[in-house]
């Protein structure tokens, strides 16, 4: 949503941005004279399943009141209300009501389905999940326009949701995600190694970056399992096989629990670190990596991880958890990345790329070259052609 706000502001539109303020905003947004930011209280951290539905109902009431107040009393009269989905409850209902009261168009930016996220906690057949799907489908159809992140999602909305006219705004990297010259990559890596208090090594480690939001739709367990397997595989390898520095970025509700689990790992040649990076620093660390790893496990099979686009924009090939054909819109296996289905396959891919059983010295270089060939238009350019006309009504 921040990308939309910046694009609209750069196009001369006054923007009111309403959302949770869980991290420091990008200065490009917080300092932009055309953007007003209205913060909401963030939801509570991850809670146990017991009482989940009851707590959720109370949270919906609180969020509805706060969101209605923000949209009616704190923001300027809008021409368009743009809402990102998920979360669907209560945002879809509140956005629809406010849009109609203020005679504004409602645009839904579909990144996934809220009911599919809820099914992770409650199960697909739970009555609340079924009700959430009906709610999301019904209210979604009342929006004036729709944006989606994948061709597969557009097809699903047309076939099953009676929404035939969704505009595809594919996940593309922002302009700041660019490949770095070799000298700059080396400088960033050296600073990163020093910052993370790495042990003395015979040679510099290979660097893997895994952007994770620490939510239930990311398979951190698979990543940890794969790294343990890889560590065992290279434990006795010669010093010519580099150690692996794996940096997990991001914040989220499951982070603390996983950090406690990672602290108990007995890894010898894999060095696993979690590091939060501010918006200005993140693109440079990403661009310094040899490889990106995505363990996003789509709840719908129709969404695409924006973090893969960021890695690709920085010229970094990606190993990605294969959750379905939709992922083919971003990754061509063997050309600009590799797809894996389980921890064993990811560990084997790390062996092929860095380990003692590497097939050849050129695989990583070939993937990097394929990533560079696949680099297309940046997010703002695609937005100007697709979402811009929808939001500006032109």
Cα–Cα distance list, 240 to 114, 348, 364, 390 (Å): 47, 18, 16, 54
- pLDDT higher than 60, residue 359: no
Q: What is the mean pLDDT of residues 89-110?
A: 96
The pLDDT value given to residue 48: 58
Cα–Cα distance list, 294 to 84, 277, 318 (Å): 22, 17, 7
The pLDDT value given to residue 41: 83
Residues 6+ apart with CB under 8 A from 384: 7
- pLDDT higher than 80, residue 107: yes
Q: What is the sign, positive or negative, of the torsion defined by CA atoms of 185, 186, 187, 191?
A: positive
1 confidence band (pLDDT: 50, 70, 90):
confident
User: pLDDT tens across 41-92, in order?
Assistant: 877 655 555 566 777 788 888 999 999 999 999 999 999 999 999 999 999 9
362 confidence band (pLDDT: 50, 70, 90):
confident
Q: Which fold has domain 182-374?
A: Rossmann fold (3.40.50)
- pLDDT higher than 80, residue 383: yes
For the record, the structure tokens of 348 come out as 């084997």
Lowest mean pLDDT among 27-36, 55-64, 194-203, 213-222: 55-64
CATH superfamily of 2-172+379-392: Glycogen Phosphorylase B; (3.40.50.2000)
Q: Indicate if 182-374 has the same CATH topology as 2-172+379-392.
A: yes
The pLDDT value given to residue 47: 54
User: pLDDT tens across 230-259, in order?
Assistant: 999 999 898 889 999 999 999 998 999 999
Q: 184-193: buried (b, 16+ CB within 10 Å) or exposed (e) per residue?
A: ebeebbeebb
3-state secondary structure of 17: strand
Cα–Cα distance list, 221 to 141, 184, 321, 335 (Å): 37, 33, 12, 27
Summary mean pLDDT of the chain: 92
Domain boundaries along the sequence of the chain: 2-172+379-392, 182-374
Neighbours of 336 (CB within 10 A): 21
Rounded to an integer, what distance in angstroms lies between the CA atom of residue 92 and that of residue 341? 34
User: pLDDT tens across 288-311, in order?
Assistant: 999 999 999 999 999 999 999 999
């Amino acid at each position: 949503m921040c990308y939309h706000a910046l694009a609209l502001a750069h196009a001369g539109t006054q923007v009111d941005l309403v959302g949770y303020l869980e991290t420091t905003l990008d200065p490009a947004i917080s300092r932009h004279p055309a953007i007003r930011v209205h913060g909401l209280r963030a939801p509570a951290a991850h809670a146990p399943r017991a009482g989940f539905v009851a707590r959720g109902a109370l949270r919906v009431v609180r969020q509805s009141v706060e969101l209605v107040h923000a949209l009616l009393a704190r923001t300027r009269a809008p021409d368009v209300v743009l809402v990102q989905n998920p979360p669907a409850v209560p945002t879809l209902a509140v956005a629809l009501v406010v849009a109609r009261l203020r005679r504004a168009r409602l645009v839904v930016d579909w990144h996934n389905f809220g009911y599919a996220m809820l099914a992770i906690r409650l199960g697909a057949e739970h009555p609340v999940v079924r009700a959430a799907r009906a709610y999301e489908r019904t209210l979604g159809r009342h929006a004036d326009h729709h944006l989606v992140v994948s061709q597969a999602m557009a097809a699903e909305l047309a076939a099953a949701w009676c929404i035939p006219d969704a505009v595809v705004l594919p996940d593309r990297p922002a302009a700041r995600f660019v490949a770095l010259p070799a000298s700059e990559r080396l400088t960033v890596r050296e600073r990163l190694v020093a910052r993370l208090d790495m042990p003395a090594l015979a040679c510099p480690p290979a660097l893997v970056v895994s952007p994770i939001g620490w939510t239930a739709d990311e398979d951190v367990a698979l990543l940890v399992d794969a790294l343990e397997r890889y560590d065992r595989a290279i434990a006795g390898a010669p010093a010519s096989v580099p150690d692996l520095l794996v940096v997990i970025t991001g914040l989220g509700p499951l982070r603390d629990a996983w950090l406690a689990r990672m602290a108990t790992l007995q890894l010898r040649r894999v060095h696993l670190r979690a590091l939060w990076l501010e918006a200005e620093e993140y693109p440079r660390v990403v661009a310094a990596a040899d490889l990106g790893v995505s363990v996003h496990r789509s709840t719908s099979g129709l969404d695409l991880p924006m973090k893969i686009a960021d890695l690709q924009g920085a010229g970094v090939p990606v190993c990605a958890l294969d959750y379905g054909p939709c992922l083919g819109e971003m990754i061509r296996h063997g050309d600009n990345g590799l797809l894996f289905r389980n921890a064993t396959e990811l560990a084997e891919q790390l062996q092929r790329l860095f380990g003692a059983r590497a097939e050849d010295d050129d695989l990583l270089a070939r993937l990097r070259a394929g990533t560079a060939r696949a680099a297309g238009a940046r997010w703002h350019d695609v937005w100007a052609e697709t979402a811009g006309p929808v939001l500006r009504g032109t």
